[in-house]
Amino acid sequence: MPISKSQFATLKQAAVDASRQAWCPYSNFPVGAALLTTDGQIFAGCNVENASYGLTVCAERNAIGQAISAGCREFTTLLIFTATNKPTTPCGACRQVVTEFAPDIEVISVCDGPENIRASMRDLLPQSFGPHNLDEAPKPGQTSGLED
């Protein structure tokens, strides 16, 4: 179900506020993400870069971490703010991490410009890998089917 105008405004403000806390001295690309839970809570995150670039964590994954740490597991909307002229959708790693918890979440990307992108996570990450794939793995004591 789409969020209300007031929920959108609240989520956007949370994402903008989070983006102002971003630690991004290497990319100069601040990002804020705000995650809406099914019971109306909002958890925000910003990107946190590192001099060892590969250790950088995106805003979306930090928002998920905040929510999971607070015991929340069900989400309806993820809003991403970038201080750019065009909106930015989540990177592949974030799509995977968000899909773990909310494969049907609505993702809204907003920016300083007038354009928004609204998409479902299933559209952003079709045929995703998930827990259902692990169910296909052989159980201890079973053969994998690779043996002759």
Active site residues: 60
Q: Find all residues with CB under 8 Å of 13, minimum gap 6, and list them.
A: none
Name the one residue in this structure whose structure tokens are 């996570």. 121
CA distance 65 to 80: 15
The sheet with strand 42-46 has its strands ordered as 42-46, 31-37, 75-82, 106-111, 117-120
The closest alpha carbon to 33, from 55, 6, 66, belongs to: 66
**Residue closer to Zn ion (CB basis): 7 or 56:** 56
Residues near Zn ion (CB under 5 A): 58, 91, 94
Let me know: does 44 contact 13? Beta carbons within 8 Å.
Answer: no
CB of 59 to Zn ion, least distance (A): 7
CB of 89 to Zn ion, least distance (A): 10
Tokens coding 13: 């403000």
**Residue closer to Zn ion (CB basis): 42 or 94:** 94
**Residue closer to Zn ion (CB basis): 7 or 101:** 101
CB of 124 to Zn ion, least distance (A): 12
CB of 51 to Zn ion, least distance (A): 19
**Residue closer to Zn ion (CB basis): 72 or 97:** 97
